[in-house]
Amino acid sequence: MLVVALLLPLALAPRPAQAQAQSQAQAQAKSQPSPTPGTTTRDTELKARPVVDAPTLARLPAKSAVTIVERRGGWLGVVSGGKRGWVRLLHVSSRPVGASGPTVRELETAARVATGRAGSGNVAVTTGIRGLTPEQLRSAQADPSALDALERTAVEPAQASAYAAAHRLARRPLPYPPAPREARDAPR
Amino acid sequence: MHRARHCLAPAALALVLAVPAALVAPAASAQSVRDLLQQRVPEALRPALALTVEDEIRAGQAAAANLLGVAPLVADEGLQRYVNTVGRWIAMGSERPDLPWRFGVVDSADVNAFAAPGGYVLITRGLYASLGDEAELAGVLGHEIAHVVERHHLDLMRKSLLLEMGVQSLQKQLEGDREALVRRLVGTGAEIFARRLDQGAEFQADRHGMVLAARAGYSPFGLPAVLQKIASVDRTDDRVTLLYRTHPAPDERLRQLEAAFGAGLDGLDRPDAGGKLHPLK
């Protein structure tokens, strides 16, 4: 079931404008969401490729409906108004399946049939145990032996650095940005 | 001036605690009490409430142990070591690299992650299962690491204790039994994880979490990608109830991130960086 779920978005999605090497597509397949309805949170551009200087296919005003079919770094592969393209990830908010256009419904129905998911996107359905409640948390009793287990699997800086070096994780200096004076759109 | 400021807060506290009206300064309006409750610990009172890093670590340890009583660690040492490796590497790029950082995946379907003071970070199996790649894990851990670095939960514990005990008796407590102090800081069970930080603290942890992931060499966009996944879950699903109760809505968090960063992260994507997510059994 997992494999189906992971491959489905690619199967449903129109081919990317620029087919990258297949191995790269496969490497990224696991990070792809199943088709999810989304809305643009501000005016933005639908780009032909996931780069800033790619040609603009369409201008999307704030609150445009999109169907998210793929993610690549800071870009989302979307379908909007029948066009397949890329928008900046931070310009889109997703939402549960609900009042959305026929394209979204079509994709979601297909996803639901193929994967058995309840159409809620990417959080896998589980059975039995459910969420944590404040009451459970308040009545929690310490498990001191769990602290020992936590200690046992601790990792020291040298081990973490070795992992980083082996996986192309290079340290980069980057300051924290200040808090925005105000969000561009006031909360509803 | 100093004396006046010192006196105002206890007066407001007294009101909160419904101490007889004679003790309450007439100037302490309901508004000022609300202000006090919403503030972080006032600067003037911080020296009086000084906690050592040891206090902080012991409080975090106790809170984590209580949480583990409800949601035990997933019994998979490979998974736990993996999450510790990624988490440690990110924390090493923070302003508090020397805390005894400990990370864990806990066995709950709830979609959530928790930060306890002193460097204890726990992520639920439910959230881990929804991650698509290591950059997304880095974003989630970065957010929690930022809470620890900024001492958000420690401040919340300290403020609660201040409201509960008042300044004088808290000062006395600080001079006395540290173990009792830590116990009182932690409160009942794992209740600290059911409480809501002010939303400014959450937005800050989001911004810093993205930066911490990027400093560690990951794409910074893992965290907003996870927020989008959470936004796509029906909020009546009880696996996200606690998250919505304790955090601003994900679409508002995304809006805040966009307002803070704009296009400022262009060029920081690193699609090839990082390892593979350790699979859940």
Residues B163-202: tens digit of each pLDDT = 888 877 777 777 778 888 888 899 889 999 999 999 999 9
Q: Look at residue B232 in the predicted model and tell me its pLDDT.
A: 86
Q: Are B30 and A107 in contact (CB under 8 A)?
A: no
Binned at pLDDT 50, 70 and 90, residue B96 comes out as: very high
Tell me the residues of chain B between 114 and 133 that have a Cβ less than 8 Å away from chain A: 120, 124, 126, 129-130, 132-133
Contact B242 A143 (CB under 8 A): no
Separation between Cα atoms, residue B19 and residue A11, nearest integer Å: 67
**Strand A65-72 to A83-88 pairing:** unpaired
Closest Cα partner for A51 from A10, A9, A12, A17? A17
Reduced to 3 states, what is the DSSP secondary structure of residue A69?
Answer: strand
Interchain CB contact of A96 with B (< 8 Å): yes
* Cβ within 8 Å, pair B254-A30: no
Hey, where are the domains in chain A? 2-115
**What mean pLDDT comes out for the span A135-160?**
93
Are the Cβ atoms of B232 and A94 closer than 8 angstroms? yes
Least confident of A26-30, B87-91, B270-274: A26-30
* CATH number for the domain whose boundaries are A2-115: 2.30.30.40
Does residue A165 belong to the interface with chain B, where contact is any CB pair within 8 Å? no
d(CA B64, CA B114): 9
Residues of A in contact with B219 (CB under 8 A): 73-74
* Range B100-129 average pLDDT: 96
Mean pLDDT, rounded, for B132-145: 97
Residue-wise pLDDT tens digits, A90-122: 999 988 765 444 344 444 444 444 333 333 345
CA distances from A178 to A130, B141, B206, B213, B219 (A): 37, 20, 12, 17, 20
Show residues of chain A in contact with B190, CB under 8 Å: 137-138, 140
Strand partners, A46: A58
Q: Residue B1 pLDDT more than 60?
A: no
Cβ <8 Å between A74 and B275: no
A154/B100 CB distance under 8 A: yes
Confidence of residue A154 (pLDDT cuts 50, 70, 90): very high
Query: Could you tell me which of B57, B49, B59 has the C-alpha nearest to residue B174?
Result: B49
Q: What is the mean pLDDT of residues B40-47?
A: 60
Enumerate the residues of chain B whose CB falls inside 8 A of the CB of residue A87: none
| Per-residue tokens: B220 | 């910074």
Flag whether the ipTM exceeds 0.85: no
Q: In chain B, whose CA is at the least distance from the CA of A159? A: B85
**Chain B residues with CB inside 8 Å of A170's CB?**
217, 273
- What is the H or E stretch that residue A86 is in? strand A83-88
- Determine the distance in angstroms separating the CA of B117 from the nearest CA of chain A, rounded to an integer: 15
**Residues B69-83: tens digit of each pLDDT:** 999 999 999 999 999
Q: H-helix or E-strand containing B116?
A: strand B113-116
At B243, list the tokens.
């998250």
Residues A87, A58 contacting (CB under 8 angstroms): no
A169 touches chain B (CB under 8 A): yes
